[in-house]
Amino acid sequence: MKPNPIPPKTGQESVWDYPRPAILEDTNKQLRVICNAIVLAETNRGKRVLETSHPPVYYFPPKDIKLEHLIATPKKTWCEWKGWCQYYDVSVDDKYINHGAWRYFDPTPNFLPIQEYYGFYAGFMDACYVNDELVTPQLGDFYGGWITTDIVGPFKGEVGTKGW
């Protein structure tokens, strides 16, 4: 059962206005990931994936990430929209996060621009920011969306949303 979307106010986006299948777009918003008190990733040349009922998922170009802290794992998943994804552990000094990041190593044609880009689970990091606003992680054990005050839901991942 589809929920009742929250009507967006001026300057806000409703995730219920996002398309299905998902789309990819460039963003010049300032994105930042903090892990164990270091800036792990920071860019204003990111990309975001928009999909109905999901907050945006942000991706960072590799040159704007401290890649020495990412460790490839054997875990791989398939997304019908984006293609094949590989997961990375994050290791910063004494902090170790299993599957804290991912990238699409074999994307579908519409998502080729993120082939070398990385996403981060905000809930596993110390903090993640969009334009200096601390994000709220999308709920659920699978989703990587970042919620800010300019995004309204309800969002997939919350209790009772599995069938959306």
Q: Is the pLDDT of residue 1 over 80?
A: no
Backbone angles phi, psi at 110, to 5 degrees: -70, -15
Instruction: Please give the CATH topology (third level) of the domain spanning 13-152.
Output: 2.170.150
Q: Which residue has the higher pLDDT, 4 or 51?
A: 51
- CA separation for the pair 75, 2 (Å, rounded): 32
Strand-pair category, 133-134 with 136-137: unpaired
pLDDT in tens, 127-143: 999 999 999 999 987 89
| Residue in the block written with tokens 């990091």 | 125
> 123: closest CA among 142, 139, 137, 134?
137
Sequence length of the chain is 164
pLDDT in tens, 26-82: 999 999 999 999 999 999 999 999 999 999 999 999 999 999 999 999 999 999 999
Domain locations along the chain: 13-152
